[in-house]
Structures are given as C-alpha cells and as structure tokens.
Amino acid sequence: MSRRRVPVPAQSKIVILDFGSQYTQVIARRVRECRVYSEILPHTTTADELATGGAAGIILSGGPASVYAKGAPRVDRGIYRLGVPVLGICYGMQLLARDLGGAVEPSVEREYGSGRLTVTRKSPLFAGLPRGLDVWNSHGDRVTKLPAGFVSVGATENSKAAAIADTRRGFYGLQFHPEVSHTPRGSEIIENFVLGICGCRPDWTPGSFIERACAEIRAQVGEDRVVLGLSGGVDSSVAAALLHKAIGRQLTCIFVDNGLLRAGEREWVREIFGRHFHIDLKIIDASARFLGKLRGVTDPERKRKIIGQEFIRVFEAAAASLARRRKGRPCRFLAQGTLYPDVIESVPIAGNPASLIKSHHNVGGLPKRMKFELVEPLRQLFKDEVREVGLQLGLPREIVHRQPFPGPGLAVRILGEVTRARVRVLQAADEIVQAEMVSSGWYDRVWQSFAVLLPVRSVGVMGDERTFENTVALRVVESRDGMTADWVRLPYELLAKLSGRIINEVRGVNRVCYDVSSKPPATIEWE
C-alpha cells in the first residue's frame, strides 16, 4: 500500500545572512528562543532565493570587514525590495546604511566592549524596554550620514546613530550586538524584531518540529528502507526515535563497534534499544578494521575522514547483507544525527575556505561516492532543541540528557596515533571521569566532561620507583549549544579525587592536567 504524502505546513522563518561574524550562530539561537525558526545563509544568497524561501524577516550579521574596504562582502540589493523587515547588526547596519544612500566612516574613538545606549526616540525595536540599556560593542566604524527615511532612535557616547530606523519600510540597524549575553536585554530587542516587527508566529516547538519532520521523512523515503548508525548518543538516539515514529519497521539501526567507544557501550545500546524499545537493531564488530585503517595516522582531519569513510563502507556492506537476507528492496537511505552546529562548523564562513573549523564525520568526512542518499532529520536543530524533541518522543531522561560524545569516538580524544592499547587507557580514564561526575552531582550541571590522552610522557614516582608514563588531560565545559563554551570551575576536592583515581587505577598514567581554555579560541574537543 502506498503511503499518502501529507503536505508540510508552512512556518514562520527568519533568515540570517552571514558576513563572517563570530556571533552569527548566536543570533540564530536567539531567534529560536523566540520559538521562531531561523536559518543562516551566506551573504551571497540572492533576493530571488530569499523570496522563494519565504523569509518573514532578514537579519544582516556583523563581520570583521569595513564596508568601504576593497573586496568587502556585499549583499544583493534586491533584498531591500522584497517588502520584508530587515535588521542590520554592526557590519550589517553599516552595509544597510551605505546601500541605501548613507555614509560610513572610521570612528575616531572605536567602541569595543561594554557601553551604554540611550533610547532617543520611540521605536518598536525597543518596545517595553527602559530608556537606558547596557550594550556590547565591537566596531571601529560608524554611520555618519543617515539614508533618506531613517532617523536615529538610539545613541551612545561616541555615536549619535547607534540605533537607526525606517519604520515605514521596516528597516532597522543596531551598531551594538544585541545577541550576546553582554547585552543583558538584547534578547528582548531581537524578540521585538522577530515577533513584533516581522509578525512571526511562535510556531517552532518540539511538537511542530516532529510533525513537520515526520512528514518530510515520509515524503523523502516513500516505501524504501533506511539504515541509521546508532551510537547510543543523544543525536543518533533521537534520530532513531523520530525515524521509527515516521516509518516504523522500514528503519534498521546498525550499531558499529569501531573500537573507539566508551567501555561497555555495546552492551548498553543492545539493552536499551534492542530489548527495551524493540527497534530493529544489528550490531557489527568492526574494531579491527577501524584500528587497522588508523594505524600510524596522527593528523586530526585524516582521522575524521578515515572514520567517516569506513563507517560508510561498513554500512554499505551491512545494508547489502540485509537486502539479501530479506529478499526485499535494498536500503537506499542512510540516516544520520547531523545537527545544525555540525553543518555550520563544517562549512566555510562567508565563502572563506580558511574559516573551516573542522570536518565532522557525518558532514565533511563522507566519501564523495557512496551508495546511499542521506536522511538527516535533525540538521535544523541545536543540541538543546534535540533534547526537547527527544523528551517529546518519549525517550528516557538517561538517554536524552547524556553528555555529547563525538562521532569519531575516542579517536579525537587520543592525540597522536590511535592504537588498541591507547584506547584501553583512555577508556579506563573516561570511565572514572563519568562515574565521579555522576556520583558528585556534577554530571548534569555541565555540558561535557571527559578525558583526553596526550602524546606526552613524563617522569613520575610510584612505589619508590621512577616511572615514565602517559599524561591525561581533563576537559569539563559548560555551554548552551556547543557553539561557545567556558571551562568549569570544579571543586578542588573533586579534581583531586579524579586525578588520584586515574593515576592509581589506570595503568600507564602518572600525570593528570586540567584544561582551562574556553571556546573560542579553543574548541571543546582537542581534535
């Protein structure tokens, strides 16, 4: 029986055009917090493409360039004729002003860091807000001449036009950054733009997402079979539950033991998904294959690409085996738990190839030739949204609130060559970290906590004997969505216990360090 295709309902959407700002992803998060769907697109996106996509409003992000510099990024000026509101932030405001006939010049006194905005004229952008606002600045230019139709609605000490508006056309500009936490009431400014000025409906909810995602999955898959790589982590688990709701027994989950997993992970996944949720689950031991391919490899990007390629090859073989056994249609689709931050970090910002942060095995690490078409039902979501969807789907809290675990597994937490012996050392250290974080009550208070095995050996003394053993680094961070993160100030007593247990119980380790770097400039994972 053919599956009836249900039309996917329209939803409100705000598009952010990216000019390379480090805060672009934060803008997208703030819009999502208004329960409105946001999407980041390159600044080269045309007005026709935006019109087809049905954006209710457009935000021009900040960026490191100066609008008057040679080769500075531009925008298709046709966006100003689409009839939708536009908000320019920092560089975006300067570009908006310049494009519409204003003037931008270098500021004699640059503004970096905290500042004070005075609202000088009533504006829907500041509805419900006080006349004085603490704001965060990061700019060296300023608008010196307003375009026709614009008025200044806010000023700082060094700029009489720190906030500008053309209410008739729905065009607004902010010289400061309302999206960052250093602008305490900036989220309310963005909400005023999204809900008040653009008239968006707050319809981006877990329930609405599930309804849309299921309709899209059914439309894409039809009657074909889908295989999903189930790791036991939050992303793949929620993807499995969503796909199972959408297509039922057309889904087969394949758990690949690549030899790079946490201790006991295979048994845990078998118990939860195979026996408890009754999802069609196939377990494959490919540890020797993966470790063999990684022998002698030390470059992080090569590790990720090798692991991504091997995953696909293992899946292709498993899918072919399933088709032969069941004498049915071959598995045409591969499902992945790709998230929006994976997509963002794997794509160069503003068309600059040098801005690539890293390849994710399920985004940039896939081979160009493979026998599957991809199904990525979570690629619109940030991590906290994935957790909300998981709870809505009925997954237990122990799965939904698991800390993130990288797709390439422990390979990106072992700096240098990955060997079976080094994996065992890190598995033992990681098991201690997880146990102590849970027993101390800190596990649910942080974003991620894990151990990293360094390619560093140092001298120590154990049992009155000289040792020359490995070093383990501890990484514990707090974050909302993984886009930015800060290191956690764990109690000294807990750090001492972690260090003591690892050195005493993990053979081959005689030194433990604590990572006190934030993201940016560091990343959460070490590779």
Question: What's the pLDDT score for residue 7?
Answer: 46
Q: What is the pTM of this model?
A: 0.73
> Is the preceding peptide bond at 330 cis, omega within 30 degrees of 0?
no
The question of whether 211 is a catalytic residue gets the answer no
What one-character DSSP code corresponds to residue 414?
B
H or E stretch at 268: helix 265-269
CA distance 139 to 61: 13
- CB burial class (10 A; 0-12, 13-18, 19+) of residue 519? middle
Q: DSSP per residue over 343-365, as a string?
A: HHHTS-GGG-GGG-----TTTTT
What one-character DSSP code corresponds to residue 273?
I
Question: What's the pLDDT score for residue 300?
Answer: 93
Question: What's the pLDDT score for residue 111?
Answer: 61
The question of whether 179 is a catalytic residue gets the answer yes
Question: What's the pLDDT score for residue 10?
Answer: 65
| The token pair that represents 494 in the structure block | 């807990």
Q: Which residue has the tokens 């954006």?
A: 55
CA distance 24 to 402: 27
CA distance 384 to 400: 10
SS3 state of residue 257? strand
The question of whether 198 is a catalytic residue gets the answer no
| The token pair that represents 108 in the structure block | 């004699």
| The token pair that represents 301 in the structure block | 């990007």
Which of 34, 43, 111, 179 is catalytic? The answer is: 179
CA distance 379 to 391: 18
Question: What's the pLDDT score for residue 137?
Answer: 85
Type of residue at 516? V
Sequence length of the chain is 527
Pairing of strands 13-18, 37-42: parallel
Question: What's the pLDDT score for residue 520?
Answer: 86
Per-residue pLDDT tens, the chain, 527 aa: give them. Answer: 344 444 444 689 999 999 988 889 899 999 999 999 999 999 999 999 999 988 999 999 999 888 888 889 999 999 999 999 999 999 999 999 999 999 998 876 666 678 899 999 999 999 999 999 999 987 678 899 999 999 999 999 888 999 999 999 999 999 999 998 889 999 999 999 999 999 999 999 999 999 999 999 999 999 988 989 888 889 999 999 999 999 998 999 989 999 999 998 998 888 888 777 778 899 999 999 999 999 999 999 999 999 989 988 887 788 778 777 666 566 788 898 888 877 766 555 444 433 444 444 443 344 455 577 899 999 989 888 999 999 999 888 888 988 988 889 999 999 999 999 999 999 999 999 999 999 999 999 999 999 999 999 998 877 667 788 999 999 999 997 787 899 999 999 999 999 999 999 999 999 999 999 999 899 999 99
| The token pair that represents 457 in the structure block | 């050996």
Which of 90, 198, 200, 331 is catalytic? The answer is: 90
Which of 177, 244, 360, 361 is catalytic? The answer is: 177
